[in-house]
Amino acid sequence: MRHIFLSIILVCSTHFLFGQFNKDSLYNYQDLNKILELARTNNDQKTLAEVYVKLADYEGDVFAEYEKSFEYYKRALEYFKLNRDSSGILETNHAIAKRYIDAGFYDESIQLLQNLQNVYQKQKKATKLASVYFDLNRAYKARGDNEKSIEYLKKSEDLNVYLKDTTLMLRIFFDKIQSFEMSYELDSALVTAYKVFTISSHFENKELVAKSLFHIGYINKLKKNFPLAIKYLTKSKSILPFQPYSELRKFIYKELSDVYAKSGETKLGYDYLIKYTQLNDSILNKNRLESFTNLALKYGSKEKQTSIELLKIEKQYAEEQNSTQRRTMYILGIGLFIVTLSIYFIIKFYDQRISTTKIITEQKEEINHQKIRELEDNYKMSSMRSVIEGQEIERERIAKDLHDSLGGLLSTIKLQFDQVRSRNEELGQLKEYNKAHKLLDIAVEEVRTISRNLQPGSLHNLGLVPAIKDLINRFEGDGSPYIDFQYYQMPEKIDKMISLSVYRIIQELLTNSLKHAQAHEILIQINTEEDELVIQYEDDGVGFDQHHLKRGMGLENIRSRVSYMHGTITMDSEKGKGMAVMIRMKYH
């Protein structure tokens, strides 16, 4: 009865979810996995393809796990091909191309978008072609090819003259404004911003009107026309509809603070700086809460998926038992007609049944033990991943707080110091004033150093090798050991989390050598062997006894990170003979 009841629930759930499923609707991670499981049960290939696209979007947009996102897009393509859904294939390839831009694979994105361009040109699908042109502009801009970027942006704009797609037209104009601002073509940027303001006002879209006014104010700030900048930024703030976590309002506060400070109205500048800091803190806290909620949702879905698999095993075992019982009934029926052989067959059958049941029971116990071990391992890895990712999220938040809030506040204080001295020149002769001014400079630099240590900007902007070089430069100085950094055959693309882990490991090792090892020379080597990243670290310090290792030397943090990346680590050290460490991990 229990299995019949579960089957009825499964059928009802299938009817409900599939009756409601729409690829243009929003679903959370749990619902998508439920729909996916039901689609597999019913062999609904169309729904499978569309759900995999949704999951791919979710992995990329919410979790920024691009490798998983590409895997789901690939599965979606397979099902679209089985259904011969050419439209689904093209739209999925377009989604992959846009995700390539997010992941930094600009050449791959350009190649895929150019293939789509050829297809849509042959099919004469102008709307799709205009969108492809716009994304080609984004890909070339991200790659640094401004000439090609402008070429495709113009193609998209020319095609949209006939399409009259207002949404695309506004995206094009805002993209042009940002390009003009970056290249400091301020007159062209201002003309385009006024165009967007006129169009947005015509359609009575207050948010777009506020955004266009913000750009007009920002451009006037760049042109050092501070009264006009204040006028348009204030107007943008008053028109913008209220939203508790508005990014645009945050930037308006930031620019008003800057403009008022530069105009000499430091009181208003300080007031807007406080508003910017408070709103920025609220947005950061909201984003952090959403990140933790999404991670809990994701890994909770995985645990439920494991439970479903266990239910499947139980169902399969029950079906095997039913099959065995049916065979017993047939053999007993035959035994009624053949009295002489019935006892022999019954005994033989029960012997076989006992052996089979014993084997099945042993197999089930082994499967359950294996599942328990897998669940324990997954739980440990999930916990470790959550801790490490939580640490990095918290580091990033603290670094942003220090840089944006405390750093901005110290800079404002320094500006007020300078204004006071400019009005009272005799202050420059006071020893106490000069000492306070020097301490303020040291405080600003200290905040920058701490922020850079917590969240290395060079790692995100330049890559792993330049980030390590920057780290070494910060460790070098009078009385510091000589650090020799060597790297060979470094891969072009390394996963973001792997790069960050390697950076943190080397940072921990260097800190350990300087604090505890009293080393004079340090050697760092990074190279690749097949699909592995190999890190070798040596110093000539005092070393340590591996059998009596003291806590607090950071080595446990290193082991945890290596374990989290599924890598291996070996350490060799003796007292007075320095330390050698070798780490191997997959880099893709």
242-275 burial: b if 16+ Cβ within 10 Å, else e = eeeebeebbbbbbbbbbbbbeeeebebbbebbeb
465 shares a domain with 380: no
486 shares a domain with 420: no
Task: Specify the higher pLDDT residue, 461 or 86.
Answer: 86
pLDDT for the residue 295: 57
Coil, strand or helix at 134 = helix
Total count of domains within the chain: 2
- What does the pLDDT average to over 553-570? 80
d(CA 286, CA 166): 32
Does some domain include residue 575? yes
Task: Specify the higher pLDDT residue, 545 or 221.
Answer: 221
pLDDT at 311 over 70: no
CATH number for the domain including 470?
3.30.565.10
Least confident of 1-5, 103-107, 399-403, 477-481: 1-5
pLDDT for the residue 293: 59
pLDDT at 478 over 70: no
Q: Estimate the share of the chain in helix, then strand, then coil, as percent rounded to the nearest 5.
A: 80, 5, 15
Where is 1: in which H helix or E strand? none
Q: Is residue 265 a contact partner of residue 250, using CB atoms and an 8 Å limit? A: no
pLDDT for the residue 306: 45
Q: Which of the listed residues 415, 449, 483 is the one where a domain comes to its end? A: 449
Does some domain include residue 37? no
Top-ranked range on mean pLDDT: pick from 161-170, 213-222, 295-304: 213-222
419 shares a domain with 518: no
Domain hosting residue 374, numbered range: 298-449
pLDDT for the residue 500: 82
pLDDT, one tens digit per residue, over 492-548 is 778 878 888 888 888 888 888 888 878 889 999 999 888 888 999 999 888 877 666
pLDDT at 482 over 80: yes
- Count, residues in the chain: 588
Task: Specify the higher pLDDT residue, 485 or 317.
Answer: 485
Does some domain include residue 563? yes
- What does the pLDDT average to over 108-125? 92
Between the two ends of the chain, the Cα-to-Cα distance in Å is 49
- What does the pLDDT average to over 547-564? 71
- What does the pLDDT average to over 337-352? 76
Task: Specify the higher pLDDT residue, 316 or 311.
Answer: 316
pLDDT for the residue 6: 39
pLDDT at 16 over 50: no
DSSP label of 114: H
DSSP label of 183: T
pLDDT for the residue 225: 92
Least confident of 132-141, 286-295, 435-444: 286-295
Where is 570: in which H helix or E strand? strand 568-573
Does some domain include residue 174? no
492 shares a domain with 410: no
Q: Quick one: pLDDT band at residue 451, thresholds 50, 70, 90?
A: low
pLDDT at 69 over 80: yes
Quick one: what percent of the chain has pLDDT higher than 90? Answer: 19
552 shares a domain with 521: yes
Helices (H), 513-571: 555-564
Q: Which of the listed residues 449, 476, 493 is the one where a domain comes to its end? A: 449
568 shares a domain with 434: no
Does some domain include residue 527? yes
pLDDT for the residue 11: 41
pLDDT for the residue 343: 83
333 shares a domain with 304: yes
Helices (H), 401-554: 407-423, 431-454, 457-462, 464-475, 496-512
Task: Specify the higher pLDDT residue, 468 or 297.
Answer: 468
**Amino acid at position 52, single letter:** Y
367 shares a domain with 320: yes
- What does the pLDDT average to over 83-101? 92
> What are the tokens at 549?
């290792």
391 shares a domain with 470: no
Task: Select from 214, 227, 211, 236 the least CA-distant residue to 259.
Answer: 227
Q: Which of the listed residues 422, 449, 476 is the one where a domain comes to its end? A: 449
pLDDT at 283 over 60: yes
pLDDT for the residue 1: 40
Does some domain include residue 42? no
Task: Select from 510, 489, 512, 502 the least CA-distant residue to 564.
Answer: 502
Does some domain include residue 279? no
pLDDT, one tens digit per residue, over 137-156 is 989 988 988 888 888 988 98
pLDDT at 313 over 60: no
Coil, strand or helix at 520 = coil
pLDDT, one tens digit per residue, over 162-175 is 888 888 888 888 88
Does some domain include residue 63? no
Supply the DSSP string of 52-81, one letter for each residue. Answer: HHHHHHHHHHTS--HHHHHHHHHHHHHHHH
Please state the pTM of the whole predicted model: 0.46
pLDDT at 298 over 60: no
Residue located via tokens 């506004």: 170
Sheet containing 579-586: order of strands: 482-487, 521-529, 532-539, 579-586, 568-573
Top-ranked range on mean pLDDT: pick from 348-362, 369-383, 429-443, 531-545: 531-545
d(CA 498, CA 314): 39
Q: What is the mean pLDDT of the chain?
A: 79
466 shares a domain with 365: no
471 shares a domain with 568: yes
Q: In the chain, count of helices (H) and strands (E)?
A: 21, 5
Task: Specify the higher pLDDT residue, 424 or 314.
Answer: 424
> What are the tokens at 241?
């509809």
Return phi, psi of residue 559, to 5°: -60, -40
Task: Select from 113, 78, 111 the least CA-distant residue to 94.
Answer: 113
> What are the tokens at 385?
């991943």
Q: Which residues contact 60 (CB under 8 A, 6 or more apart)?
A: 66, 69, 99, 102
425 shares a domain with 327: yes
404-419 burial: b if 16+ Cβ within 10 Å, else e = bbbbbebebeeeebee
Task: Specify the higher pLDDT residue, 405 or 282.
Answer: 282
